Amino acid sequence: MELKRVVVTGLGALTPIGNNLNEYWESLKNGVSGAAPITSFDPELFKTKFACELKNFDVSEHLDRKQIRTMDLFSQYAMVSSAEAMVDSGLDLESIDLDRTGVIWGSGIGGLKTFQEEAKEYWLGDGTPRFNPFFIPKMIVDIAAGHISMKYGLRGPNYVTVSACASSNNALIDATNLIRLGKSDVIVSGGSEACVNEHGIGGFNALRALSTRNDDPKTASRPFDVDREGFVLGEGSGAIILEELEHAKARGAKIYCEIVGSGLSADAHHLTAPHPDGLGAISVMKQAIAEAGISTSDIDYINVHGTSTPLGDIAETKAIKEVFGEDAYNLNISSTKSMTGHLLGAAGAIEAIACIMAIKDGVVPPTINHFTDDPEIDNKLNFTFNKAQEKEINYALSNTFGFGGHNTSVIFKSYKD
């Protein structure tokens, strides 16, 4: 069976450093930090008092009151970014087969704020079990894909992948494979997350996963720096329209790039820590490169998981050196989480978009907030510290790894007919 080719024809972004694709990309190129004191609740009693929140975002400009009332924030974010991507794609819903057009979304946690609000209302009330009739459909993780499909009448494959911080990369991989196998023509993919709330901050604080650099939030996310001490929690969404190549060409679509390789693995090691030698990360990068039919010397840019945790950054660097050997010194590496924070299940989506735009414009976004080299990390590698770099990019690889040992890699290629 000859596999179909899969291309990207639409993008949408709602992030802590930009509420649409263009704002997001400009901020990435300019090294803008999205970290600031939390505004959505009073964080005074929490160890971490800052996050990468959305800014100047009013959902009522995008959704009506009824929609807002029936959706958790993570679904609202999904609706906004997917709407931008649909417009960007130029898809005419009246001229495509809606039975072959699907939605495969990613989210690691889903409706955490909804669960928090309903639990609080019950436990602080008089004990009478009064719950919002939308409690369950607002909270469940799959509902974001459902909302997108209902808005556009998309009757193809429809579900949400859940693999912690690898969730939206898993969604992209599933969507790509369904199109490659000829089961769909178009799939709306990506991911969304909305965990900047008391339970999100408190839970990750309890794990000692978050930075507590409250005196200087903007420089708190420091991937590969010796003084890194945890990630910065982010929120938002990214949407990517994937399309079978001939389908896209037949309608004269704008084509950003092609998806040519992917990898999936498990560390089988620890609840929250990566394998110290990066075995799972090694596996997914090797799988992706083999599936793409290329060599390590072909990769120009890696958007790393790079969360700014002491163990994670070391393990990923070891994995890159193991996979790429001497070729590791010829490519660019960057962690855009240094700017956006960590969007958990949506991280893969917005980082895929960073790779796609890097290919399109020939610009590698930087890893900001680097001040001091870590002697345990090979700083002869080009981490694109503090300033974007112009470079022709034909192949870009994106890594995302999740709690539970979930690992994913996706390779994007500049499109050539």
Beta-sheet pairing, 158-161 with 101-106:
parallel
| Annotated catalytic residue, options 342, 355, 370, 406 | 342
389, with CB counted inside 10 A (0-12, 13-18, 19+), is middle
Based on the residue annotation, tell me whether 305 is a catalytic residue of this protein. yes
What is 309-372 written as a DSSP string? -HHHHHHHHHHHHHHHGGGGGGSEEE-THHHH-B-GGGHHHHHHHHHHHHHHHTEEPPB----S
Based on the residue annotation, tell me whether 275 is a catalytic residue of this protein. no
Q: How far is CA 49 from CA 35, 198, 254, 310, in A?
A: 10, 10, 42, 20
Scan for tokens 């800014």, then name that residue. 55
| Annotated catalytic residue, options 62, 147, 247, 305 | 305
Q: Which of 175, 28, 21 is nearest to 87 (CA)?
A: 21
What is the rounded CA–CA span in Å between residue 106 and residue 304? Answer: 18
Total length of the chain: 417
What is 187-199 written as a DSSP string? EEEEEEE---SHH
3-class DSSP state for residue 73? helix
Sequence-separated (6 or more) residues with CB below 8 Å from residue 127: none
What is 106-156 written as a DSSP string? E-SS--HHHHHHHHHHHHTTTS-----TTHHHHH-TTHHHHHHHHHHT--S
Task: Kindly give the interhelix angle for 347-361 and 21-29, rounded to the nearest 10 degrees.
Answer: 70
| Annotated catalytic residue, options 52, 62, 147, 165 | 165
Based on the residue annotation, tell me whether 269 is a catalytic residue of this protein. no
Q: Which helix (H) or strand (E) holds 167?
A: helix 167-180
User: Which of the residues are catalytic?
Assistant: 165, 305, 342
